[in-house]
């Protein structure tokens, strides 16, 4: 690794916030995350009011097709994106992805208002986004030293959650105000502007990267893909860390579905489930601060195991939460536990993976996480409905699902840690 600047005198989050290359990368990533979620909101607005649907009878079907076009690239191109990232400068890749997305979205007002055009632009924007994620993960070790990896990843994870919440919350009112004030095309220009600002912030990032020679670029992409798989097969510590991250994001996806019903139980409207997820984001911020200040002292502690047990406990306790303060407190504790898994595991992958392999590894990780996110989103809702119908009560059905999920998460955490401990002993 090649830190872009001398290690700061102070440790933890304070050191990260004084690291200008990291600040440029972090703020650029946060703005891009917000733009991604606002784009999702814009798609729904355009479908509803933009004149892209020729007949109202097909509105739901076309909405589903756009959502598929938005999510399929995450599964199809995740690994391929990682291979491409390893062949080019991470900084240039991040800037290029933002500029291309800005151009694609900015061209929408000038293109024919047909459903095929909207579907194509959605697919292209989502495809380009898949190249941004592994480049971003591979750039973090270049912006911070080894001692800052754990807190940096915890902060990135919490800001990612924050970006999702902010984007989903402000998207509709912001677009409504912009359209009313400046006209319909201003919505697309505003969103493209966010990506351009993100590109400008990342342009200010000063990092040193190892030059990728022409020999590496001439290797066939399929060989690169197999090399990445071989690396994960032989480096069991990295592959196990990736498995734990995949489990973590699967649990988060299930919580997104269950949060809707949970919100109604603790005194919120079901449409306000974002506040419950926001509390988890706050917990992740506290987790990032904890890892930043005390993570090095707890390096030999089973932090991921503690995180899984904490998340399992919270999910089980959610079954009995009926007060607003308790729901928010449990959600914050859930986020804190998640940071104990994400920070150390992501830092481990970045630390143990050579710079020349990071794009491939993070591409495979991104692919696995996107698949893991899709399955719980598809299963959790129908499963909860089926259990509720079987027991004859929605409240009891939700409790059963939450307690079962909590037990399963704790069990998976224990199993993952036992295997990790065995791998650690073999590596010593």
- The DSSP secondary structure of 409-428, one letter per residue, reads HHHHHHHHHHHHHHHHHHH-
Picking from 347, 375, 381, 324, the residue whose alpha carbon sits closest to that of residue 151 is: 347
Predicted local distance difference test score (pLDDT) of residue 403: 93
Per the CB < 8 A criterion, the answer to whether 160 and 309 are in contact is: no
**179 and 75 part of one domain:** yes
Half-sphere CA count of 16, side-chain side, radius 13 A: 25
Last residue in a domain, options 209, 241, 262: 209
Write the CATH number for 294.
1.20.1250.20
- For residue 357, tell me if it sits in a domain: yes
**191 and 269 part of one domain:** no
Predicted local distance difference test score (pLDDT) of residue 2: 38
Q: Is 305 left (phi over 0), alpha (psi -120 to 50) or beta?
A: alpha
- For residue 215, tell me if it sits in a domain: no
Last residue in a domain, options 140, 174, 209: 209
Report the domain count for the chain. Answer: 2
CA distance 274 to 339: 19
Predicted local distance difference test score (pLDDT) of residue 9: 41
**192 and 228 part of one domain:** no
CA distance 47 to 57: 13
CA distance 112 to 203: 33
Predicted local distance difference test score (pLDDT) of residue 103: 96
- Find the angle CA(279)-CA(282)-CA(288) to the nearest 5 degrees: 145
**249 and 178 part of one domain:** no
**314 and 339 part of one domain:** yes
Structure tokens, 292? 């930043």
**37 and 164 part of one domain:** yes
Counting Cβ atoms within 10 Å, is residue 17 exposed (0-12), middle (13-18) or buried (19+)? middle
How does pLDDT run along the chain (428 residues), one tens digit per residue? 333 433 444 446 677 778 888 899 999 999 998 898 888 788 877 877 767 765 555 555 676 677 778 878 877 776 677 777 777 888 999 999 999 999 999 999 898 888 888 889 999 999 999 888 888 888 888 888 777 777 787 778 777 767 777 776 677 788 888 988 888 788 999 999 999 999 999 998 888 776 554 444 555 555 666 666 777 777 778 888 888 888 888 888 788 778 878 888 888 876 677 778 778 888 887 887 787 777 666 656 778 889 999 999 999 999 998 898 899 999 999 999 998 888 888 888 888 888 777 777 777 777 777 777 777 766 787 888 888 888 888 888 889 999 999 999 999 888 887 776 665 554 44
**293 and 415 part of one domain:** yes
Predicted local distance difference test score (pLDDT) of residue 59: 59
Predicted local distance difference test score (pLDDT) of residue 228: 66
**341 and 193 part of one domain:** no
- For residue 310, tell me if it sits in a domain: yes
Distances (CA, A) of 395 to 264, 274, 390, 409: 11, 21, 12, 21
Per the CB < 8 A criterion, the answer to whether 155 and 23 are in contact is: no
- For residue 240, tell me if it sits in a domain: yes
- For residue 216, tell me if it sits in a domain: no
- Find the angle CA(118)-CA(169)-CA(286) to the nearest 5 degrees: 125
- For residue 214, tell me if it sits in a domain: no
**295 and 197 part of one domain:** no
Buried-state track 363-384, b at ≥16 Cβ within 10 A, e below 16: bbbbbbbbebbbebeeebeebb
**22 and 131 part of one domain:** yes
- For residue 246, tell me if it sits in a domain: yes
Last residue in a domain, options 209, 242, 263: 209
Counting Cβ atoms within 10 Å, is residue 7 exposed (0-12), middle (13-18) or buried (19+)? middle
pTM above 0.85, yes or no: no
Domain extent, residue 114, equals 8-209
Helix (H/G/I), strand (E/B), else coil: 143: helix
**177 and 72 part of one domain:** yes
**What's the start-to-end Cα distance of the chain, in Å?**
22
- H-only helix segments in 266-323: 273-294, 303-318
State the greatest distance between any 2 C-alpha atoms of the chain, in Å, as a whole number. 65
Per the CB < 8 A criterion, the answer to whether 352 and 235 are in contact is: yes
- Compute the residue count for the chain: 428
**71 and 100 part of one domain:** yes
- For residue 260, tell me if it sits in a domain: yes
Per the CB < 8 A criterion, the answer to whether 5 and 28 are in contact is: no
């Amino acid at each position: 690794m090649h830190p872009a600047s001398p290690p700061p005198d102070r440790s933890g989050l304070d050191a990260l916030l004084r690291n200008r290359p990291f600040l440029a990368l972090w703020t650029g990533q946060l703005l891009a995350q917000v733009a991604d979620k606002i784009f999702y909101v814009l798609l729904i607005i355009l479908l509803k009011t933009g004149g892209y649907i020729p007949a109202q009878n097909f509105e739901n079907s076309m909405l589903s097709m756009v959502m598929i076009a938005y999510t399929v690239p995450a599964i199809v191109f995740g690994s391929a994106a990682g291979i491409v990232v390893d062949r080019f400068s991470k900084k240039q890749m991040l800037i290029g992805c933002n500029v291309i997305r800005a151009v694609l979205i900015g061209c929408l007002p000038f293109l024919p208002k047909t459903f095929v055009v909207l579907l194509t632009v959605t697919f292209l924007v989502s495809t380009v986004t898949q190249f941004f994620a592994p480049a971003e993960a591979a750039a973090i070790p270049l912006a911070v030293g080894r001692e800052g990896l754990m807190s940096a990843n915890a902060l990135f994870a919490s800001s990612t959650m924050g970006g999702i919440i902010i984007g989903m919350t402000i998207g509709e009112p912001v677009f409504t105000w912009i359209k009313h004030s400046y006209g319909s095309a201003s919505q697309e220009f505003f969103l493209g502007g966010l990506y351009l600002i993100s590109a400008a912030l990342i342009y200010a990032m000063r990092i040193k990267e190892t030059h990728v020679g022409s020999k590496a670029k001439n290797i066939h992409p399929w060989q690169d893909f197999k090399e990445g798989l071989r690396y994960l097969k032989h480096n069991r510590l990295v592959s196990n860390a990736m498995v734990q991250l995949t489990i973590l994001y699967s649990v988060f996806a299930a919580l997104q579905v269950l949060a809707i019903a949970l919100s109604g139980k603790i005194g919120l409207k079901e449409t306000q489930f974002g506040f419950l997820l926001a509390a988890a984001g706050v917990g992740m911020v506290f987790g990032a601060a904890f890892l930043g200040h005390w993570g090095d002292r707890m390096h030999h502690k089973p932090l991921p195991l503690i995180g899984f047990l904490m998340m399992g406990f919270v999910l089980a306790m959610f079954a009995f939460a009926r007060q607003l303060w308790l729901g928010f407190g449990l959600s914050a504790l859930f986020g804190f536990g998640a940071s104990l898994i994400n920070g150390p595991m992501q830092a481990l992958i970045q630390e143990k993976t050579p710079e020349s392999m990071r794009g491939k590894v993070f591409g495979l990780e991104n692919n696995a996480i996107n698949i893991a996110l899709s399955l719980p989103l598809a299963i959790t809702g129908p499963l909860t409905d089926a259990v509720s119908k079987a027991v004859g009560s929605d409240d009891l059905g939700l409790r059963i699902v939450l307690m079962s999920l909590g037990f399963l998460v704790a069990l998976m955490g224990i199993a993952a840690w036992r295997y990790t401990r065995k791998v650690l002993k073999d590596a010593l």
